[in-house]
Amino acid sequence: MPPGENDESELDDKSRLTVEIDRAPGEALVRLSGRLEAGATDGLYLPVRALMPQTKRIVLDLTDLTHMDSMGLGTLVRLYVSARAAGCDLELVNLGKRIRQLLGMTNLMSFFTIIGENDVRVP
């Protein structure tokens, strides 16, 4: 294998969006890592949307989310609208500085319930 070839696939693995869902009765914790961007948004929207309406509280843990573009932002808004329509609460925890700035610049911070700062542990 040529030098550096494996490095690129490792970078792709680290930047790829991963979604882990921990469920409890009536609630779910959704841990995101990687990049929430065009081409990856259904990887978040579809499994979280499938939790509604039976899951009344959904917490998105953004601790390991490294990047979000406008498509990722649109996906959070779609989830917010879907949650409201289904009678569910969608909450965000552990927003990084860049994600917080993006939500602030677009005046969307007030739409979401933010339940914690960086490094908050959610069971």
Predicted TM-score of the model (pTM): 0.83
Helix axes 70-86, 42-49, angle to 10 degrees: 10
Instruction: Tell me which residue range forms the domain holding 69.
Output: 5-114
Spatial CB neighbours of 89, under 8 Å, sequence gap ≥ 6: 56, 57, 58, 83, 113
Quick: pLDDT tens for 30-78.
Answer: 999 999 999 999 999 999 999 999 999 999 999 999 999 999 999 999 9
Q: Kindly state whether residue 106 falls inside one of the protein's structural domains.
A: yes
Q: Kindly state whether residue 122 falls inside one of the protein's structural domains.
A: no
Domain of 103, CATH number, reads 3.30.750.24
Reported confidence tier of residue 117, pLDDT bands at 50, 70, 90 = low
The percent of residues in the chain predicted with pLDDT above 90, rounded, is 75
Reported confidence tier of residue 7, pLDDT bands at 50, 70, 90 = very low
Q: Kindly state whether residue 94 falls inside one of the protein's structural domains.
A: yes
Whether residue 120 has pLDDT greater than 80: no
Q: Kindly state whether residue 123 falls inside one of the protein's structural domains.
A: no
Q: Tell me how far apart the alpha carbons of residues 98 and 3 are, in angstroms, rounded to a whole number.
A: 33
Quick: pLDDT tens for 76-113.
Answer: 999 999 999 999 999 999 998 999 999 999 999 988 99
- Write the CA distances from 37 to 21, 55, 65, 85, 117, integer angstroms: 19, 25, 11, 24, 23
- Structurally, the chain folds into a number of domains equal to 1
Q: Kindly state whether residue 20 falls inside one of the protein's structural domains.
A: yes
Q: Are 99 and 117 in contact (CB under 8 A)?
A: no
Q: Kindly state whether residue 18 falls inside one of the protein's structural domains.
A: yes
Q: Kindly state whether residue 119 falls inside one of the protein's structural domains.
A: no
Quick one: average pLDDT of 5-29?
76
